[in-house]
């Protein structure tokens, strides 16, 4: 499943909030078991809070104070903190975490630090702060809070996980994820194995210690280092899972938490991937309705034609990839084209760009536009270098939950359910859910409810037609957290805060600035 980070003004990957966009070769967090099911034992399990007293072995970490320095980005300061690589053996090896902040601008009394995370897993929170949150969050919020971000362990500037070089990543992202025969299935399995082996050989030290639980514990060290008694936090997409995990571990240290585009931590991976597949279908149908209202939709004149016509286009690309003008000779096959379309589902403001890219591809046989969308999703630059987004995404997802499938036979049995969830994307997203089956280290997490009993009020935000984090997940998380209040945004796109709804923004601003919790049943559009 992919979550990727949130987008729209916030630089989300086309941008990153892939929860795990199972999407082609992006890791899927799933667990075994029948699709759509979770055992009663798993459903009842809850994340246990850690002891309130800080263990003496962790005191040196909690006693740190950041040595702030110039970042090279006007208005921002940077620092480095240490956290134990293994919380079971503090002091036997550390990991260095990159932190950035922009101090409160005033006027008004400073309220403390506001930590932000854009999702992923694998999205750079420092990059998000410097490129969006620290300059585009509401002025009233930036006036009263120091805006702070930390790249999670294994991500970007915090000892990034490494797996494949640019050339091998190009090959990986072009692998056919709708295999038609045994040879193609073997090739797909081989790609997953090569990716996993690359991660194991290049990042062996890190792979057992990049879980969401460990990152949440790092956040508490940062909270203490900043001098804050409680954590104030805005997390989007996967960042909601991270924030909820923090609340479950440290309920007494919860300040004001906003969890926007929420995940349901109680679900096994296969169910998460299946739900997400349905979410992308919902978003695509909204795109289809919008497309046919335009002067010319490249996929048909009626909304019910758009999906079948896109599927037919994908099949043509599967048989014969089209040129893109890429200097390295990459052609647009089904896998990259599918990612290009999925990338545009995160934000309705990208639909026009998608229509143009599809028109050029279908009418002129030029795949450059769709390739550019796919590259933005994968965070590949013009020189063929990839950010570590996909590596970190797999590393976290495959550690947090058991694999959705153990092998190709299980995927084949699940294909009908995935195709039903999305006739357009289902097959590819099902096969993309296989990658964790070959991961070099065993998972340490499992599906768990998060209740965070005793925590201060937490605001959970859900968008009704969110592609990557379906609305039902927000309802589920709000139902688990003992102090949660659900804010519903009736709209399209991934996440809601800062995406154009004055109702959503004013409601969240009132909570962050004054602690005003939304009324029960609050809906915005």
Residues annotated as catalytic (active site), given as ranges: 237, 466, 494
Looking at residue 1, the DSSP 8-state letter turns out to be -
Helix (H, G, I), strand (E, B) or coil at 226: coil
User: From the CA atom positions of the chain, what is the Rg in Å?
Assistant: 22
Task: For tokens 């962790």, name the residue.
Answer: 58
* Number of residues assigned to the chain: 525
393, 2 contact by CB (below 8 A): yes
Strand ranges inside 205-275, DSSP E:
231-236, 254-260
Question: Cis peptide leading into 121, omega within 30 of 0?
Answer: yes
Q: How far apart are CA 35 and CA 513, in angstroms?
A: 42
Helix (H, G, I), strand (E, B) or coil at 137: coil
Tell me phi and psi for residue 476, to 5 degrees: -65, -45
In 3D space, the residue among 36, 493, 453, 497 whose CA is nearest the CA of residue 267 turns out to be: 36
Longest CA–CA span in the chain (Å) reads 67
Residues 468-478 as b/e (b if ≥16 CB within 10 A, e otherwise) read bbbbbbbbbbb
In 3D space, the residue among 240, 133, 245, 275 whose CA is nearest the CA of residue 486 turns out to be: 240
- 257 CB contacts (<8 Å, ≥6 apart)? 231, 232, 233, 234, 235, 243, 246, 247, 455, 456, 458, 459
402, 446 contact by CB (below 8 A): yes
491, 497 contact by CB (below 8 A): no
Q: How far is CA 9 from CA 121, 238, 494, in A?
A: 19, 17, 11
Question: Token pair for residue 490?
Answer: 């009736």
Question: Cis peptide leading into 238, omega within 30 of 0?
Answer: no
**CA quadruple 11, 12, 16, 17: dihedral sign:** positive
């Amino acid at each position: 499943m992919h979550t990727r980070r949130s987008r729209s003004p916030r630089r989300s990957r086309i941008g990153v909030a892939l929860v795990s966009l199972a999407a082609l070769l992006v890791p899927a967090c799933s667990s075994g078991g029948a699709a759509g099911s979770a055992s009663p034992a798993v459903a009842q399990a809850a994340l246990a809070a850690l002891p309130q007293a800080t263990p003496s072995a962790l005191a040196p970490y909690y006693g740190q104070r950041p040595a702030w320095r110039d970042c090279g980005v006007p208005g921002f300061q940077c620092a480095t903190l240490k956290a134990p690589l293994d919380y079971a053996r503090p002091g036997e090896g550390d990991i260095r975490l990159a932190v950035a902040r922009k101090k409160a601008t005033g006027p008004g009394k400073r309220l403390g630090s506001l930590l932000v995370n854009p999702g992923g897993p694998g999205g750079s929170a420092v990059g998000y702060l410097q490129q969006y949150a620290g300059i585009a969050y509401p002025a009233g919020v930036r006036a009263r809070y120091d805006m702070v971000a930390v790249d999670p362990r294994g991500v970007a500037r915090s000892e990034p996980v490494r797996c494949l070089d640019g050339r091998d990543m190009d090959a990986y992202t072009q692998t056919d994820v709708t295999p038609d025969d045994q040879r193609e299935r073997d090739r797909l399995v081989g790609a997953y194995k090569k990716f996993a082996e690359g991660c194991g050989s290049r990042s062996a030290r890190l792979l057992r210690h990049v879980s969401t639980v460990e990152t949440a514990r790092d956040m508490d060290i940062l909270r203490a280092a900043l001098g804050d008694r409680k954590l104030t936090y805005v997390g989007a997409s996967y960042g909601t899972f991270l924030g909820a995990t923090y609340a479950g571990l440290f309920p007494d240290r919860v300040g004001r938490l906003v969890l926007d585009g929420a995940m349901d931590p109680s679900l096994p991976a296969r169910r998460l991937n299946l739900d997400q597949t349905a979410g992308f279908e919902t978003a695509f149908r909204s795109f289809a309705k919008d497309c046919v209202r335009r002067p010319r939709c490249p996929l048909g004149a009626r909304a019910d034609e758009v999906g079948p016509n896109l599927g037919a286009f994908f099949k043509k690309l599967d048989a014969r990839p089209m040129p893109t003008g890429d200097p390295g000779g990459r052609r647009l096959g089904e896998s990259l084209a599918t990612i290009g379309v999925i990338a545009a589902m995160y934000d309705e403001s990208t639909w026009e760009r998608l229509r143009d890219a599809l028109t050029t591809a279908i009418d002129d046989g030029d795949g450059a536009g769709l390739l550019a969308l796919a590259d933005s999703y994968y965070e590949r630059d013009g020189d063929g270098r990839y950010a570590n987004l996909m590596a970190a995404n797999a590393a976290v997802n495959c550690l947090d939950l058991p694999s959705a499938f153990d092998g190709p036979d299980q995927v084949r049995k699940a294909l009908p359910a995935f195709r039903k969830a999305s006739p357009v994307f289902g097959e590819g997203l099902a096969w993309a859910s296989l990658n964790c089956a070959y991961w070099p280290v065993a998972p340490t997490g499992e599906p768990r409810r998060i209740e965070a009993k005793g925590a201060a009020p937490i605001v959970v935000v859900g968008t009704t037609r969110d592609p990557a984090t379906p609305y039902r997940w927000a309802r589920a998380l709000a139902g688990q957290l003992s102090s949660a209040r659900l804010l519903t945004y009736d709209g399209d796109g991934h996440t809601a805060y800062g995406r154009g709804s004055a109702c959503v923004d004013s409601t969240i601003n009132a909570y962050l600035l004054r602690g005003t919790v939304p009324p029960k049943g609050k809906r915005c559009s």
